[in-house]
């Protein structure tokens, strides 16, 4: 029996954390309780808004970093052997956190880049918060793999943020018309796929049947976390 234990820094937002854990359950090839992955979830709902911190002052950035580091150290002390953070925007801080702990943090953005390379994708569109887009998190990581990403144009990006904050984070069902509007923008820019690069968009994907045009970064994170913790994968269609 594996002694691996996945630690999850969640609460960003709570529904996305719930969806991530369901992804873990659905994608683990287990037939008994004991065959599932041991997971310790800390839903840190008091975490300051990551987008506001990234676009704000150094003090705001440091506050988020220190809290993420404190959470990671707590999970490390609790015996976790790897950490997943189902929040794309928080990855702005995670390389710095990784330097301070000895267990690996599964990097959702890099793992998604590796998947796109394996699929032969060249021009993904990035659907994410303003913070993720403006810092170039995905663009920079993807470029290191020879993939050149596009972001929605300003009017379409407003629709992305509205779906994330006004709908999903507010506990409402996501508006398919908003989703269709910013998807159309990416198609017009010549994108060959669209990456759901915000976990609230993963919640939307869990509520709707989306085409293979979309790559769910949180699903990639779940799969890689399972593999890193030495559990067999189950195919999900």
Q: What is the helix (H) or strand (E) element at residue 6, kind and residue range?
A: strand 5-10
CA nearest to 148, candidates 160, 157, 139: 139
Is residue 80 annotated as part of the catalytic site, yes or no?
no
Write the DSSP assignment of 67-110 as a string of letters.
Answer: HHHHHHHHHHHTT-SEEE---STTHHHHHHHHTT-SSPBP-HHH
Cα 58 from Cα 210, distance rounded (Å) = 38
Q: What is the helix (H) or strand (E) element at residue 202, kind and residue range?
A: helix 199-207
Q: How far is CA 111 from CA 59, 124, 205, in A?
A: 30, 14, 19
Sheet arrangement for strand 38-43: 38-43, 5-10, 82-84
Candidates 191, 193, 198, 229; catalytic one = 198
Candidates 87, 191, 193, 229; catalytic one = 87
Q: Provide the 8-state DSSP code for 168.
A: I
Is residue 198 annotated as part of the catalytic site, yes or no?
yes
Residues forming the active site:
87, 198
């Amino acid at each position: 029996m594996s002694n691996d234990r996945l630690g999850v820094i969640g609460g960003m937002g709570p529904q996305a954390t719930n969806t991530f854990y369901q992804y873990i359950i659905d994608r683990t090839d287990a037939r008994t309780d004991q065959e599932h992955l041991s997971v310790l979830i800390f839903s840190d709902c008091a975490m300051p808004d990551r987008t506001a911190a990234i676009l704000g002052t150094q003090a705001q950035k440091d506050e988020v970093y220190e809290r993420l580091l404190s959470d990671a150290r707590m999970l490390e002390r609790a015996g976790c052997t790897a950490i997943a953070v189902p929040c794309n925007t928080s990855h702005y801080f995670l390389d710095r956190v990784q330097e301070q702990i000895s267990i690996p943090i599964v990097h959702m953005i890099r793992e998604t880049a590796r998947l796109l390379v394996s699929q032969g994708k060249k021009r993904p569109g990035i659907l994410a918060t303003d913070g993720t887009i403006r810092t170039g998190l995905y663009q920079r990581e993807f470029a290191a793999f020879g993939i050149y990403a596009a972001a929605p144009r300003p009017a379409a990006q407003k629709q992305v943020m509205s779906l994330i904050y006004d709908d999903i984070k507010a506990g409402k069902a996501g508006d398919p018309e908003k989703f269709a509007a910013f998807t159309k923008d990416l198609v017009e820019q010549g994108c060959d796929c669209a990456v759901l690069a915000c976990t609230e968009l993963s919640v939307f994907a869990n509520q709707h049947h989306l085409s293979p045009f979309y790559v769910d970064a949180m699903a990639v994170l779940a799969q890689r976390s399972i593999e890193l913790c030495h559990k067999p994968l189950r195919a999900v269609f």
